[in-house]
Amino acid sequence: MAIWFITGCSTGFGHETALAALARGDKVIATARNPDDVKDLADKGALVIALDLSWPEEKIQEAVKVAIEPFRSIDILFNNAGVNIIGALEEVSTKQARALFDVNFWGHISVTRAILPYMRAQKHGTIGFSGSMLGWTGMSCVSTYTATKWAIAGLVLCLREEVKDFGIKVTVIEPGYFRTQVLGAAKPLFPEEGMEEYKVALDQLRTLVSTVNGKQVGDPEKAAKVIVEALTGEGAFEGKEVPARLVLGADAVGLVEGMLDLQKRSLEEWKSVSASTDFTVAE
């Protein structure tokens, strides 16, 4: 039996993963900005607490400490919570961009810092971060959100090395398009008054969202099953090291394969120029 701490449990991967963990008999601390949104998890035995990743770090860490107290340890942390915003770099205000990073990046850091001491003391633990296939590429007018996912991927690659000697495993889960509420969120995704210069690009994204939403091929329940197996080291992951970057969805696999091929071709094309900047070795 594992003890989980999962952020962002009101919908999507957080909710489905909490359900999957509870179904296997694990203990789950399920967080949401509004605990009323996860009453069904409480009914199934989860400890539900209020947690908003936009809170100051001290408040986040105090909430985590209080939640963990009854268990005295945490085996698995799933940093799942996140928010989205669409708009060109010029359209998204600095205030909006900082608010996005506060949740998608700094909030995860605050929770992780609060839980790492428990994992170090017990000499084991697994930390999963919610990333995106956009952490491998770029898309017009989603620059701020995409930047948070690249930042998380970079954080994971470093943190993985920092804590491996303590028996702690770290991975970032990078899904493609799944049938969650991310594209139909209560908060508006698009700027109320966009710039005319970016209207064509934004209209294309509006069309994409309206076309894709509700028809995504990714199944959140199947994804949750894989996430639970990956973070518990069971099923397909038994006896194997969890990958640093776990891509989910056939669309994400195709995108990453294409990006790796493109990067390899680009590196090969410019290799001689790149290498020409070294000091000349004296003969």
Q: Could you list the active site residues?
A: 145
- Tell me the H-state helices in 9-56: 12-23, 39-43
Q: What is the DSSP letter of 236?
A: G
Find the distance separating the first CA and the last CA of the chain, reported in whole Å: 63
Amino acid at 52: D
Amino acid at 121: A
- Work out the burial of residue 229: count CB atoms within 10 Å of its CB; fewer than 13 is exposed, 13-18 middle, 19 or more buried: middle
Can you tell me which residue has the tokens 């099923």? Answer: 235
CB neighbours of residue 179 within 10 Å:
18
d(CA 208, CA 33): 29
